[in-house]
Amino acid sequence: MTKRSEDEVTTEELPPSLPSLSARGTSHVHFEVEGVRFEGVRELEVRPNGERLLEVERRVADGALSGPCLVRQLTSPVTYIQRQRMYEEVQLAFRLNHPNIAQIFHVRADDEEDAAYAVMEYVGGPSLETLVCAALVRGQPLSEEFGLYVGAEVADALHYAHTLTSEKGVPLGIIHRDVNPRHIALGLHGEVKVLDFGAAYSLLVGREESPELLLRGDVAYASPEYLRKEGLTPRSDVFSLGVLLVEVLTGKHLFEVHDVPVVVAKETRFRPEVQPSLPLQQMQSLMETFTPDVVENAVGHLAQDIKAVLHTALRLNPEERFATAADMRDSLRGVAQLRKPYGRAEAAKEAARVVSEGGVLRDLVEFGEGGLYPEGLEKHELDALRKA
C-alpha cells in the first residue's frame, strides 16, 4: 500500500490507462502493485461525467487479503486547476482510515498524466438511495431501528473526518459537504460505508478550493449556510445527515420543491457542479422560509425521541444544532438503546428483505423514464442481495 505522508500521497505504479471491460466480465484487465495482483471482473457503470467504475479481484499469494475491489477511473481534467483539485481530492481521501469509510488502497493521480484512478474497497451491498427507493415501491419505509443504526454509523465516520489531523497534529478541517443517500452503502454483512469524499472541503495546506460561485455535491442535502456560500463547519454535515435520515425514515425528502413555482424561485449567481436531485433555486427559496414546522410536518408520525434528534440536527441556525457529529451519534445510539438490539446482522436482513420485496413489485408497476431504481441496481446490488 502506498505510504501516507503529511505533504503528499505518492501514487503507485499503476498502469497509465485501463482498457474497456465488458459488463459481463473478463480477466483481460490486470495489473500488479507491490506483489498484489488485480484482475478485472466487470464494468459496473459509466457515469454521465465519464467516470468508469470497474470491479476487480485482488489476489494475494497467501490468499489472506484476496477479494473484490472497486476501481474508480476519473475523467481527464481539462485545466491545470482542475487537475490539481483532482489530485488533492484523491490525496485527501487517501488519508481517511475508518471502518465506516470505504478505504482507498492504491491511487494514481498525476497532474502530468491523463489517467487518474483509485483502487478502493468494494461494497457489494445496496446504497441508501436503492434502499429508500425499494422501500417506497413496497409502500413501507425502512424501520426506525435501521435509521438509528445507519445514522449513528455515518455520524461516527463524519466525526472521525472532522477531527482528523496531519502527522504534526494540525487539524485538516475536513467537511464532507455531500452527505446523501448515493454516498452511503450497506455491505453484505450490514456494515455501513461512506463512499465518497470527492466533494470534501478541507483546510489542507495548498489545496485548491472550489471556484467561489461553484456549489459542489447534491444541493438537495446541503445545509442552509452552504447554499448561501457561508462558512462550513461540522454542523453543516450534521444538517445534511439530518435531511438524509428524514428520507430514510419516511421515504420522502424533507423539502417539497414542487410547492415553489419556478417563476418565484430565488435567482442565484451560484451554479451546482453536478445536476442536483432538486433544483438549486427552489432549494434556496425554501431555505428562506425553513422553520421547525417544516421538520415536524415531515416527521410528525415518528417516535418522539427520534423526532427530538432530527429537530436538533435540522436547525436553521448552525449554533442550535449538535455541536459535533459525535454528539449526534451519541444521541442516536442513546435512542437505539431503548429499543430491541439492532446491528449489522439485523441491518443486512432488513436490506435484503426490502430490496427483494421492492424488486418484485417493481416488475408490476411502470415508474416512468429511467425507472425508479437508481443506475447500478441491476448490475450488482440486487444480485448480491439475493445471494445473501
Where does the pLDDT of residue 216 fall: very low under 50, low under 70, confident under 90, or very high at 90 and above?
A: low
Between 2 and 20, where is the model more confident? 20
Angle between helices 128-138 and 344-362 (to 10 degrees): 50
Residue 298 has pLDDT above 70, yes or no: yes
Active-site positions? Answer: 178
Regarding pTM above 0.75, the answer is: yes
Say if CB 233 and CB 175 are below 8 A apart. yes
What tens digit of pLDDT does each residue of 367-381 get? Answer: 332 333 454 444 444
CATH number for region 30-121: 3.30.200.20
Mean pLDDT of 109-127: 71
77-93 pLDDT, tens digit each: 556 666 666 666 667 77
φ, ψ at 240 (rounded to 5°): -60, -40
pLDDT tens profile 155-169: 999 999 999 988 888
Residue spans of the domains in the chain: they are 30-121, 128-344
The CATH H-level (homologous superfamily) assignment of domain 128-344 is Transferase(Phosphotransferase) domain 1 (1.10.510.10)
Q: How confident is the model at residue 62 (pLDDT cuts 50, 70, 90)?
A: low
* Stronger pLDDT, 332 or 204, i.e. the higher one: 332
pLDDT beyond 80 at 351? yes
pLDDT tens digit sequence for 163-213: 998 888 888 888 888 899 988 999 989 999 998 765 555 554 444 444 444
Give per-residue pLDDT as tens, 86-112: 666 667 777 888 999 988 777 765 545
